[in-house]
Structure 1
Amino acid sequence: MTIKEKFGHLKGLTLAYVGDGRDNVADSLLVAGSMLGVNVHIVTPKPLFTHPDVQKIAEGFAKDSGSRNLITDDIEQGVKGANIIYTDVWVSMGENDWSERIKLLKPYMVTMKMMYMTGPPDDQLIFMHCLPAFHDRTTKVGKEIYEKYGLSEVEVTDEVFNSQYAWQFTEAESRLHSIKAIMAATLGNLFIPSVDEGSK
């Protein structure tokens, strides 16, 4: 929804997901992108490569939509040509091994240098994150990470998070509307007045 709002279309765009290639966000983006004709690059260290079962599902959809997917640990190759750089928290819900993830993913932190490596002009490039993001030390978790590991920024730098490329808050608003629509659809027998009835 957010990507379509920015670009006006989905098919043919390239999204590079940088981070933990096995988490639910990477899986969802790979499969949904393949359905919609978005080229999805999962840029992650080898131990965190997307599960082969998920890759197989995505490949099936990609054949029909024409999308070209890539799973690589090569950052430069993975982000080249991307219109969207997407990342997520390095430690997913239910996990707590920050030391191992930091060791694996520190080179994959989204920086301005990485944004510039993509190649498209500024108006054809955005950054997305499903939040919360640990881009500074203002949160409890951000402070704890700094105290324990000496990192002021984790999956994305504060510079990128607050840059002209940042679309994470538009994405959060899009998610709000999507959630409301799902709730309305699942509540059943919902009365929605027409414009004429609503104005009476």
Structure 2
Amino acid sequence: MKLRNSAHFSQPWRIHELTRDFRLEDVWALPTPGGPEDFPRLVRIVCSFDEARRRSSVVGMLFLARQVLGDVFGWDEQSDDPTRPSLLLRLPDDLRGRPSSVAPALGFTPLYELDDEWAAELINRTVHGVIHLGWVRDDAGGYRGQMAILVKPNGTPGRVYMAAIKPFRYLIVYPGWLKSIGRKWVTASVGR
């Protein structure tokens, strides 16, 4: 379920220190009810985003199309552009000592992992993006995952790119991803 931006900003997340110059694009409540110790399982499930690799799914076809376009237009080429430095350079010392236990899919670089918070970044020629996971108390006294996407578009091409992919994100990618996370969460819960 999509949440208001305040659901992200009202939490005392460490990511706020690092992303003051980023725009909060989306905040989602994840279908992952659990206890205080379940956050590492959420990180593993989200990082295993295999829908993007399944060419038989609509989400997989979209990611394949994005990969082809990225190759043609050079969107994903790495560069040493000093205007887009990694957030790893902004990490305070206490977060540098908290590397992620898992590497995310789709070219993201892990930034840090805490008991209730995890973040990774992606830098390319269209955007500097951050995926942030948090573990929040729910209304029933338990916990659930919350995912935020933060972006800093790279100029006009980045803003056009973000506008162009918005309908695909809302109509196809997020619904498919959230269902996949929910299925994996239930499956992992049954096996515990």
User: Shorter chain as normaliser: what TM range?
Assistant: under 0.3
Query: Whose Rg is larger?
Result: 1
TM-score (norm 2): 0.26
Greater RCO (Cα-Cα under 8 Å, separation 6 or more) = 2
TM-score (norm 1): 0.25
